[in-house]
Structure 1
Amino acid sequence: MRALVFTAPGTVEMRDVAEPEVGAGEVLVHVMASGICGSELHGVKTPGFRVPPLVMGHEFAGRTDDGRQVIVNPILSCGDCDVCELGLRNVCRRRRIVGVHTPGGFAERVAVPAGALTEMPAGLSWTAAGVVEPVANAVHAWSLAGAPAGARVGIIGAGAIGLACSQVALSGGAARVEVADRAEDRRSIAAGLGAHAAVDELTGEYDVVFDAVGTAGTHRASLALLRPGGTAVWLGLADATAGFDAAGLVRGEQRVLGSFAYGDADFAAATELVGGWDLSWVGTFPLEDGAKVFTELMNGGTVPVKALLIP
Structure 2
Amino acid sequence: MRALVFTGPGAMEVRDVPEPEVGAGEELVHVVTSGICGSELHGVRTPGFRVPPLVMGHEFAGRTGDGRFVVVNPILSCGACDLCALGLRNVCRKREIVGVHRPGGFAERVAVPSGTLTELPEGLGWTAAAIVEPAANAVHAWSLAGAPAGARVGVIGAGAIGLACLLVAGSGGAARIEVADRSEHRREIAGRLGADAAVAELAGEYDVIFDAVGAAGTHEQSLARLRPGGTAVWLGLADPTAGFDAAALVRGEKQVVGSFAYRDADFAAAVGLVAGWDLSWVATFPLSEGAEIFTSLMNGRTTPVKALLTF
TM-score computed with the length of structure 2 as normaliser:
0.99
Identity %: 80
> How do 1:123-162 residues align onto structure 2 when only pairs under 5 Å count?
123-162=123-162
Q: How many residues align?
A: 311
Return the offset for 1:302.
Answer: 5.4
User: Residue 142 of structure 1 contacts residue 165 of structure 1 at CA under 8 Å; is this kept in 2?
Assistant: yes
Return the offset for 1:201.
Answer: 0.6
RMSD: 0.6
Return the offset for 1:283.
Answer: 0.6
User: Residue 186 of structure 1 contacts residue 302 of structure 1 at CA under 8 Å; is this kept in 2?
Assistant: no
> How do 1:196-235 residues align onto structure 2 when only pairs under 5 Å count?
196-235=196-235
Partner of 2:14: 14
Letter of the 1:136 partner, please give it: A
Letter of the 2:18 partner, please give it: A
> How do 1:27-106 residues align onto structure 2 when only pairs under 5 Å count?
27-106=27-106
Q: Secondary structure at the match of 2:47?
A: coil
Q: Deviations over 1:184-210 (max 9, x none)?
A: 110000000010000111100000000
Q: Distance in 2 between matches of 1:258 and 1:189?
A: 26
User: Are 1:291 and 2:291 counterparts?
Assistant: yes
- State the 4+ residue runs in structure 1 displaced beyond 4 angstroms: none
Return the offset for 1:86.
Answer: 1.0
Q: 1:173 to 1:302 in 2, by over 3 A?
A: farther
Return the offset for 1:108.
Answer: 0.4
Letter of the 2:16 partner, please give it: D
Letter of the 1:58 partner, please give it: H
Letter of the 2:2 partner, please give it: R
Q: Deviations over 1:21-70 (max 9, x none)?
A: 11111100000010000000000001110000000000000000100000
Q: Distance in 2 between matches of 1:107 and 1:303?
A: 24
Q: Distance in 1 between matches of 2:161 and 2:254?
A: 23
Partner of 1:251: 251
User: Are 1:115 and 2:115 counterparts?
Assistant: yes
Letter of the 1:240 partner, please give it: P
User: Are 1:164 and 2:164 counterparts?
Assistant: yes
Q: Secondary structure at the match of 1:218?
A: helix
Partner of 2:2: 2
Letter of the 1:264 partner, please give it: D
Letter of the 1:171 partner, please give it: S
Letter of the 1:86 partner, please give it: L
Q: Distance in 1 between matches of 2:87 and 2:274?
A: 24
Gaps of 5+ in 2: none
User: Residue 293 of structure 2 contacts residue 302 of structure 2 at CA under 8 Å; is this kept in 1?
Assistant: no
Q: Distance in 1 between matches of 2:231 and 2:207?
A: 6
Return the offset for 1:301.
Answer: 3.9
User: Residue 90 of structure 2 contacts residue 260 of structure 2 at CA under 8 Å; is this kept in 1?
Assistant: yes
Return the offset for 1:214.
Answer: 0.2
Letter of the 2:171 partner, please give it: S
Return the offset for 1:102.
Answer: 0.4
Letter of the 2:167 partner, please give it: Q
User: Residue 183 of structure 1 contacts residue 302 of structure 1 at CA under 8 Å; is this kept in 2?
Assistant: no
Q: Distance in 2 between matches of 1:307 and 1:216?
A: 26
Q: Deviations over 1:282-302 (max 9, x none)?
A: 111101100111111101145
User: Residue 215 of structure 1 contacts residue 240 of structure 1 at CA under 8 Å; is this kept in 2?
Assistant: yes
User: Residue 235 of structure 2 contacts residue 260 of structure 2 at CA under 8 Å; is this kept in 1?
Assistant: yes
Letter of the 2:75 partner, please give it: I
Q: Distance in 2 between matches of 1:292 and 1:226?
A: 40
Q: Distance in 2 between matches of 1:307 and 1:115?
A: 27
Partner of 2:300: 300
Q: Distance in 2 between matches of 1:277 and 1:86?
A: 31
Q: 1:150 to 1:129 in 2, by over 3 A?
A: same
Q: Distance in 2 between matches of 1:301 and 1:264?
A: 35
Partner of 1:26: 26
Q: Distance in 2 between matches of 1:199 and 1:16?
A: 45
